[in-house]
């Protein structure tokens, strides 16, 4: 059986529409009657990565892939990339601007949250070439 | 699936007049739960999906849609009829004092009329108390959501059941008033409780339902609801009559009620949180905005907000579909009256806190009940069906024209996959086929 796949655009610095891609994903998962705790985790991860694209990255795409046993989120952007991924993964590390902090972002908790809420997280990035975030979530059969 | 007779789904909320309906599809597109379809040019409501928000009433250009209404019964000898008046009524008569309006309502045929001021203040105190408690106990997740708008409760139960714990479990002011009034009047007149007939005069489209099929037990505390616009002319007539005969004399013989500014303000968006003693509040009005914010709360946002007032009618209850006067004019009337009344509360806090601590005002409708009544009917789909829906969308390449009778291509594709519509109903597809055939000629 092939998977269901759908992509959503994310626009650089568009704070007004930020979150729309994750809301779309959330609505699809709700229509499939997925476990609400799983939906919650996926929504958190989707939103954090979507915000990272909006705040730090460039224009991007969020793709959701739904299989019977596994859900995958891929978020890619064409921004400046992350210089030191290991550092970026640390709790509290942030390069957010004053302006971002005023909006309530920049705690440096996005990536750690994604790590905690996904079953697999991988971040690939090259300075100047953008960032690719890949997350997997196991769907337990019950 | 069993349909119980006392569920909200058992009766039709909206009635379409096929003779007036032009088939414009406005209502179909406006419906937030996509509950209306046009079958053979006849609008049909899929009652399982209807949350009774009244949006269809609002957008119908020809007035072909109406809700169930009640004929006002003549006063009966062995019964006491009382009407509980929504404060929005005061916004419908510019420059007329609330107590004069109440008197006019009484004169159209009630033994008593009741204003909501006290109960709105009680509600505000109780909500504040709940917020303070929740800061310590963390019993409910932030942001807490106001239970005042019945459409919001239905919307959450139907489309966002996981947000039910955000609703504060306090009864709405009108329910509180209904409960107390029935008890007091039956004691005072020494009659049985069911000899007290409680009417609710309201602009709220959600309340125009037979009490038996209403969404929650506490709603059935009111026997009948009347739309303001349905009795507006009668009240106006009484007011004119009163003026001619000298209002002053009449005022003396009538029971004047103390009107609170908090009560007047209740009808406009932000009027509830204006009275709430917390800075971390928001007021959101309008159906679309409400849905957008609920989606965001579901996503985990707004945790730093303590209390959100949602009203699905635009500008708040003054935008209610059953009002007689334009919402902006009504809003102006309220704001001008407020200059006279101020926002000081009439009841001292101590009086309410004692009641609150004894559980007074706490809602007896559990979240499970709410979800049982609404949640069951929501259909779920499989991954395969989701793929089929997406495939049909690709095939249609449509423009949400609604010519098929569904509100948009997505819903049409769903209907096809669920076997409720056939692909051939799509005129975009048909047009492309015709184009193809004529190319070969
Ligand atoms: N898509 C991206 N493009 C460029 N830099 C990124 C991207 N995602 C993350 N980063 C870098 O990694 C840092 C840490 O990200 P993280 O999401 O953990 O915290 P934050 O976004 O700064 O703050 P918070 O998510 O708590 O609001 C960011 O400050 C930024 O420097
Ligand atoms: Mg972040």
Annotate B372-427 with three-state secondary structure: HHHHCCCCCCCHHHHHHHHHHHHHHCCCCCCCCCCCCHHHHHHHHHCCCCCHHHCH
What span, in angstroms and rounded, lies between the C-alpha atoms of A108 and A93?
A: 5
CATH of domain B1-68: 3.30.70.20
The best mutation among A46, A94, A126 to test binding of ligand 1, ranked by most ligand atoms within 8 Å of the C-beta, falls on A94
User: B410-424: per-residue pLDDT in tens?
Assistant: 999 999 999 999 999
Q: Which residue has the tokens 């959600």?
A: B206
Query: What pLDDT score was predicted for residue B161?
Result: 87
pLDDT on residue B214: 39
Q: For B247-303, what is each residue's pLDDT tens digit?
A: 776 776 667 889 999 999 999 999 999 989 899 999 999 999 999 999 999 999 999
- Nearest chain A CA: its distance from B382 CA (Å): 6
pLDDT at residue number B208: 57
Helix axes B117-137, B173-189, angle to 10 degrees: 130
- Tell whether ligand 1 has an atom less than 6 A from the beta carbon of residue A22: no
Instruction: Give the chain B residue whose CA is nearest to the CA of A44.
Output: B299
Domain boundaries, chain B: 1-68, 72-374, 381-441
> In this structure, which topology does domain B381-441 adopt according to CATH?
3-methyladenine DNA Glycosylase II; Chain A, domain 3 (1.10.15)
Give the Cβ contact number of residue B409 at 10 Å.
22
**Of ligand 1's atoms, which has the minimum distance to the CA of residue A106?**
23
- Radius of gyration, CA atoms only, chain B: 24
CA dist list (Å): B403 to B34, B363, B417: 15, 44, 18
Domain limits, chain A: 2-138
Mean pLDDT of B106-128: 94
Model pLDDT, residue B10: 41
Chain A hits for B304, CB-CB cut-off 8 Å, are 104
Residue-by-residue DSSP string for chain A: -PPEEEEEEE-TT-TTTTTHHHHHHHHHHHHTT--HHHHHHHHHHHHHHHHHHHHTS-SEEEEEEE-SSEEEEEEEE-SS--S-HHHHTSTT-----HHHHHTT--SS-HHHHHHHH-SEEEEEEETTTEEEEEEEEE----
**Residue B72 in tokens:** 């006002």
Q: Which of B164-173, B243-252, B422-431 has the lowest mean pLDDT?
A: B243-252
**Percent of chain B at pLDDT exceeding 90:** 65
How far apart are the C-alpha atoms of B434 and B411, rounded to whole Å? 24
B281 contacts B273 by C-beta, under 8 angstroms: yes
Distance of CA B180 to the CA centre of its chain: 22
Please state whether the predicted TM-score (pTM) of the whole model is above 0.80.
yes
Q: Beta strand A70-77 with A130-138: parallel, antiparallel or unpaired?
A: antiparallel
Average pLDDT (A111-121) is: 97
The confidence score (pLDDT) of residue B211 equals 40
Q: Taking CA atoms, what residue in B is nearest to A33?
A: B380
**Which two three-digit tokens encode residue B395?**
């095939």
The Cβ-side half-sphere exposure at B2, using a 13 Å CA radius, reads 4
Chain A residues within 8 A of B383 when measuring between CB atoms: 1, 3-4, 32, 66-68
pLDDT value at B220 more than 80: no
Describe the crossing of helices B367-375 and B150-159 by its angle, rounded to 10 degrees: 70
Mean pLDDT within B320-344: 95
CATH label, A2-138, candidates 3.30.565.10, 3.30.465.10, 3.10.620.30, 1.10.3470.10: 3.30.565.10
Residues measured by CB to lie within 5 Å of ligand 2, the ion:
A 52, 110
List the single residue in A1, A19, A32 with the smallest CB-CB distance to B299: A19
Residues 6+ apart with CB under 8 A from B188: none
């Amino acid at each position: 059986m092939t998977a269901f796949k759908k992509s959503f655009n994310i626009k650089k610095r568009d704070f007004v529409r930020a979150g729309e891609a994750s809301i779309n994903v959330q609505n699809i998962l709700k229509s499939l009657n997925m476990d609400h705790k799983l939906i919650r985790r996926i929504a958190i991860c989707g939103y954090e990565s979507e915000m990272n694209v909006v705040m730090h990255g460039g224009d991007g795409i969020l793709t959701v892939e739904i299989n019977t046993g596994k859900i995958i989120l891929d978020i890619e952007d064409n921004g400046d990339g992350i210089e030191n991924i290991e550092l970026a993964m640390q709790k509290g590390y942030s390069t957010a601007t004053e302006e971002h902090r005023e909006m309530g972002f920049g705690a440096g908790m996005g990536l750690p949250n994604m790590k905690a809420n996904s079953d697999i997280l991988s971040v690939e990035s090259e300075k100047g070439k953008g960032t690719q975030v890949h997350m997997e979530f196991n769907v337990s059969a019950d | 699936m069993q349909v119980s007779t006392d569920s909200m789904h058992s009766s039709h909320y909206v009635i379409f007049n096929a003779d007036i309906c032009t088939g414009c599809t406005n209502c179909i597109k406006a419906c937030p739960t996509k509950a209306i379809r046009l079958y053979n040019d006849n609008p049909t409501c899929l009652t399982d999906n209807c949350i009774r928000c009244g949006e269809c009433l609002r957008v119908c250009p020809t007035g072909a849609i109406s809700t169930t209404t009640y004929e006002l019964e003549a006063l009966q000898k062995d019964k006491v009829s009382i009407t509980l008046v929504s404060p929005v009524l005061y916004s419908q008569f510019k420059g007329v004092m609330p107590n004069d309006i109440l008197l006019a309502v009484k004169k159209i045929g009630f033994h008593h009329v009741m204003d909501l001021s006290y109960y709105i203040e009680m509600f505000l105190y109780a909500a504040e108390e709940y917020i303070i408690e929740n800061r310590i106990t963390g019993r409910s997740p932030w942001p807490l959501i106001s239970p005042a708008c019945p459409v919001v409760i239905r919307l959450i139960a139907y489309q966002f059941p996981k947000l039910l714990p955000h609703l504060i479990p306090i009864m709405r002011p009108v329910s509180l008033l209904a409960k107390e009034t029935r008890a007091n009047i039956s004691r005072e007149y020494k009659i049985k409780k069911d000899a007290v007939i409680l009417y609710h005069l309201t602009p709220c489209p959600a309340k125009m339902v037979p009490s038996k099929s209403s969404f929650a037990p506490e709603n059935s505390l009111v026997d009948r609801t009347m739309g303001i616009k349905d009795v507006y002319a009668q009240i106006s007539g009484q007011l004119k009559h009163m003026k001619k005969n000298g209002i002053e004399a009449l005022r003396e013989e009538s029971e004047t009620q103390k009107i609170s500014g908090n009560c007047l303000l209740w009808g406009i968006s932000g009027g509830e949180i204006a009275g709430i003693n917390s800075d971390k509040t928001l007021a959101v009005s309008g159906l679309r905005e409400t849905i957008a914010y609920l989606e965001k709360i579901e996503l985990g946002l707004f945790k730093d907000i303590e209390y959100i007032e949602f009203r699905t009618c635009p500008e708040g209850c003054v935008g209610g579909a059953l009002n007689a006067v334009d919402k902006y004019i009504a809003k102006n009337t309220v704001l001008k009256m407020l200059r006279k009344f101020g926002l000081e509360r009439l009841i001292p806090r101590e009086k309410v806190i004692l009641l609150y601590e004894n559980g007074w005002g706490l809602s007896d409708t559990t979240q499970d009940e709410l979800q049982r009544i609404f949640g069951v009917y929501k259909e779920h789909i499989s991954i395969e069906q989701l793929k089929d829906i997406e495939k049909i969308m690709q095939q249609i390449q449509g423009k949400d024209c609604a010519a098929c009778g569904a509100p948009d291509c997505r819903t049409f594709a769903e209907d096809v996959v669920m076997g409720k519509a056939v692909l051939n109903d799509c005129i975009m597809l048909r047009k492309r086929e015709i184009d193809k055939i004529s190319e070969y000629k």
